[in-house]
Amino acid sequence: MTEMTTRRLGSHGPTVSALGLGCQTFGRSRNDAEAEVAVGTIQAALDAGFSFLDTADFYGSGVSELNVGRALKGRRDQAFLSVKFGAQLSPSGKIIGLDGRPNSVKNFAAYSLKRLGVDVIDLYQPGRADPDVPYEETIGAIADLIQEGKVRYLGVSEVGADLIRRAHAVHPVTALEIEYSLASRFIEAEILPVARELGIGVVAYRILAEGMLAGTLPQGQPPEGAHFLAPRMHGENYTRNRATAKALDDMAADKGVTSAQLALAWVLSRGQDIIPLTGVSRPARIADNMRALDVAFTPDELAALDRAFAPGAIVGSRYPEFVLKWAAR
């Protein structure tokens, strides 16, 4: 089995696993059997060398945090816990708003600490910027938590260059969590250069773009009954985008790896300051994801992917409009 490698999280952050474990799927565990699978998967990832665990208090309305907490009993020192907060949910689980008020931030943190069963959160960040609260006030509340010893490092998520600078002026930012993949390269123009200027690590999520880059979806129209979140996965957008993604599928076949492994390897290749998040639903998938660490590209291969997935090649928004208004552009 491939051995996990490590990377430093930002210029002044800790050393963590080169791949992070995205824990959103573990918020869907609604019964004891599903929870046991979730806990077992997290523990298997720890055994394989994953240390960076990424969760949020709104993943399953706290269920993900509960499962992560169960998995970490007696193993806290093996994990670097990254936690997002700030989304307001309806009883059905739909995001209905954001809350970045300082008192709310501290309240969110108190409940996360309890659910996770830990004394300190390693990296804490608002999942989105609340448009009704000055960002400096939200960030200042996290800075207070750092002073109190309840949080170790400040993170930000899905924000543009201006808000990154504003947050960093309040307290040094260690990491930016944001979407980045062959299908979504918008950060390269301004956001990524600013993060690098300030020594901020990048935690990249949605590496496979709802499966578009996984090589498992059909060409042409989406499968009947499929319900994808992003407009880029609907109708004509899907048809065009899967045709574009065929370049990745073909290269993966030539190299003897899966499209998903190649897409993950591409993000890894973008710099030692980037930590991709992988979604693993069961222990058997851990080794598949880790094989991306062994994938190497020739200059010609990188140039070919750059051409195939140039800006504008993937059409359609990455989120529906009601979410996009809260996301980095």
The C-alpha atoms of residue 213 and residue 219 are separated, in whole angstroms, by 12
HSE (CB half, 13 Å, CA atoms) of 165? Answer: 9
pLDDT at 222: 81
The C-alpha atoms of residue 46 and residue 52 are separated, in whole angstroms, by 9
Give yes or no for a contact between 127 and 58, defined as CB atoms under 8 angstroms apart. Answer: yes
The C-alpha atoms of residue 207 and residue 72 are separated, in whole angstroms, by 26
The C-alpha atoms of residue 299 and residue 91 are separated, in whole angstroms, by 50
Q: What is the pLDDT along the chain (329 residues), one digit of tens a residue?
A: 789 999 999 999 999 999 999 999 988 877 888 889 999 999 999 999 999 999 999 998 999 999 999 999 999 999 999 999 999 988 887 888 899 999 999 999 999 999 999 999 999 999 999 999 999 999 999 999 999 999 999 999 999 999 999 999 999 999 999 999 999 999 999 999 999 999 999 999 999 998 999 988 888 888 776 667 788 988 899 999 999 999 999 999 999 999 999 999 999 999 999 999 999 988 989 999 999 999 999 999 999 999 999 988 999 888 776 665 656 65
The C-alpha atoms of residue 73 and residue 26 are separated, in whole angstroms, by 16
> What is the CATH code of the structural domain delimited by 6-215+259-296?
3.20.20.100
Phi, psi of 75 (to 5 degrees): -135, 20
HSE (CB half, 13 Å, CA atoms) of 96? Answer: 7
Give yes or no for a contact between 87 and 128, defined as CB atoms under 8 angstroms apart. Answer: yes
HSE (CB half, 13 Å, CA atoms) of 242? Answer: 18
HSE (CB half, 13 Å, CA atoms) of 232? Answer: 22
Cβ count near 317 (within 10 Å): 14
The alpha carbon of 209 is separated from its chain's Cα centroid by a whole number of angstroms, namely 11
Model pTM above 0.75: yes
The alpha carbon of 195 is separated from its chain's Cα centroid by a whole number of angstroms, namely 16
The C-alpha atoms of residue 254 and residue 172 are separated, in whole angstroms, by 44
| Token code pair at residue 256 | 């003897």
| Token code pair at residue 33 | 């059997």
């129209």: which residue's tokens?
A: 221
Q: Determine which one of 59, 124, 180, 238 is catalytic.
A: 59
The C-alpha atoms of residue 243 and residue 40 are separated, in whole angstroms, by 37
Known catalytic residue: 59? yes
pLDDT at 264: 98
| Token code pair at residue 2 | 């491939």
In this structure, what DSSP letter does residue 218 have? P
pLDDT at 147: 98
Give yes or no for a contact between 137 and 93, defined as CB atoms under 8 angstroms apart. Answer: no
How far lies 98's CA from each of 11, 127, 326, in Å?
A: 30, 9, 9
β-strand 87-89 against 52-56: which pairing, if any? unpaired
**Sign of the dihedral defined by the CA atoms of residues 48, 215, 322, 328, in that order:** positive
Give yes or no for a contact between 172 and 196, defined as CB atoms under 8 angstroms apart. Answer: no
HSE (CB half, 13 Å, CA atoms) of 179? Answer: 18
The C-alpha atoms of residue 180 and residue 189 are separated, in whole angstroms, by 12
Element (H, E) at 56: strand 52-56
